[in-house]
Each structure stands twice: as structure tokens, then as C-alpha cells.
Amino acid sequence: MPDIVRIAPSVLSADLGRLAEQLDQLERGGADWIHVDVMDGRFVPNLTFGALLIGALRRMTDLPLDVHLMVVEPERYIEPFLEAGASVFTFHPEATVHVQRHLAAVREVGMRAGLALNPGTPLAAAEEVVDDLDLLLIMSVNPGYGGQSYLPSATAKIQRARAMLDRHESGALLEVDGGVSPDTIAAARSAGADTFVAGSAIFSAPDPAARIGELRDRCKAGVSV
């Protein structure tokens, strides 16, 4: 399991009216990536951001932008999001037909290619394209909203994902998204995740910068799973 832990605060839970100030706090707290949740009101009920916000974030921070597309036909956004400044482009296999082709296209233009699996989606969907992955995202909630509770079944799925990636000698990062908090992060880390998205746990904290450090510390503590 990779030693490096990445914390990726999700701007879905940020106060957009104070975005520049909140980004400063995240940078001060040692955030590694900024997670951007793109929702289209079709793949998930909620409607959020697009290339305009990605571009605005790109001008406000040098941190990599970890863009998570919860949209149908994500391939339509490869070029616009690249131009806006996305670093990681992660989409759902449930949302498109030609998953392998689109992963290859994302890499081809120079972004990291990620695949995100809903709680009900088998790991096999990722194993079929493992050589095309720079990142595998295990959803620990059903996507669509921030502030949901971590599904306990995610921990065993992360363990299986870790074993699958290791079996294929894949260098893909293993990310977890949904309900990640000081109470749940150690289980996900012990199961083999290395990259952690957190929205409400960071932005609802009295000191978001300190909360990032706390999440990182809880990873070191670990738990047996």
C-alpha cells in the first residue's frame, strides 16, 4: 500500500461566496488536491459545477484539481475540462458505454484517468480496464450530495480493490469518497485507500485547516479491519 496519503477537500461543501478565502485555508492546512464534484441532474439528481468553476479554481490555486464527474456521457467534457485546468478526470462506468476508449482519451490528452464505482457496482467493472487506470474511486455513499454517512460495506470493497490493484501490479491510486471523517478515515486507510475526499468533515469543522491535519493523523493511527 502506498505510503503517501492524499487529502482532497471537496468544494461541494465550501462557502462559494468565500471561495478564495476557503482555498487559502485548505492550502494552509496542507490539502493535496482540490476535489470538484460535477453533477448534471441526470446521473444524479443534483446539479452543480462545470468548466467555469474549474477554470476559476485553476486561477485561484496551484493544487491539482481532482474532478469527479457524476454526469451521463462524461466523454463530452474531456476537452472542455482539460482546457479549464482539470488534473484528474474521474467518471462513472455506469454513465457511459465505451469506458476503455474514454479512459484512454483522458490519458492521451494528459490528464490522469479515474474510474468511480457506485456502492452497487461490482469491482469487476474496474478490473476489466485496470491497465487504463491512474485512479480508482470507491464511492462510500450513493453519489449526489455531501454530508451523507459512510456506508460500512465500503471498507471491505476497498480491501478487495486494493488486492485487485496489487494483483495486477497497478500503480493506480485508490480513492474513497463519501462520509470520510475523523471517525471513518482510519478504516478506509487500513483497508488500503491512499486518497481521501472529504467535504462536510472539513468545511463544517471550526478550523478546516486543522481538520485536514486531523484526518491525516487518523490515517497514521490506523485500525484493524
Q: Which residues bind Zn ion (CB under 5 A)?
A: 37, 68, 177
192 binds ligand DX5 (CB under 6 A): no
User: Would residue 134 show up in a list of annotated catalytic residues for this protein?
Assistant: no
Please pick, among 37, 66, 134, 194, the residue that the annotation labels catalytic.
37
Q: Nearest residue to ligand DX5, using CB? A: 199
* Shortest spacing between CB 184 and ligand DX5, in angstroms: 10
Q: Which residues of 18-45 are buried (b: 16+ CB within 10 A; e: fewer)?
A: ebeebbebbbebebbbbbbbbbbeebbe
Question: What residues numbered 34-63 form the site for ligand DX5, per CB under 6 A?
Answer: 35, 37
d(CA 221, CA 34): 24
Residue nearest to Zn ion (CB): 68
- Across 65-80, b (16+ Cβ under 10 Å) vs e yields bbbbbbbbebbebbee
Binds ligand DX5 by CB under 6 A, chosen from 29, 93, 179, 192: 179
Q: Kindly name the residue from 40, 66, 134, 177 that is annotated as catalytic.
A: 177
Stretch that binds ligand DX5, among 8-16, 52-60, 122-130, 216-224 (CB under 6 A): 8-16
Q: Quick one: which of 7, 10, 32, 51 contacts ligand DX5 (CB under 6 A)?
A: 10
Closest approach, Cβ 215 to Zn ion, in A, equals 16
146 binds ligand DX5 (CB under 6 A): yes
Cβ 197 vs Cβ 158: under 8 Å: no
> 3: buried, middle or exposed (CB in 10 Å: 19+, 13-18, 0-12)?
exposed
Does 80 engage in binding with ligand DX5 (CB under 6 A)? no
Q: Taking contact as CB under 6 A, which single stretch among the options 26-34, 48-56, 122-130, 178-186 is the one that binds ligand DX5? A: 178-186
Q: Is 207 a catalytic residue?
A: no
Q: Environment class of residue 119 by beta-carbon count within 10 Å: exposed (0-12), middle (13-18) or buried (19+)?
A: middle
Query: Which positions lie near ligand DX5, rule CB under 6 A?
Result: 10, 12-13, 35, 37, 68, 141, 143-148, 177-180, 197-201
- Catalytic residue numbers read 37, 177
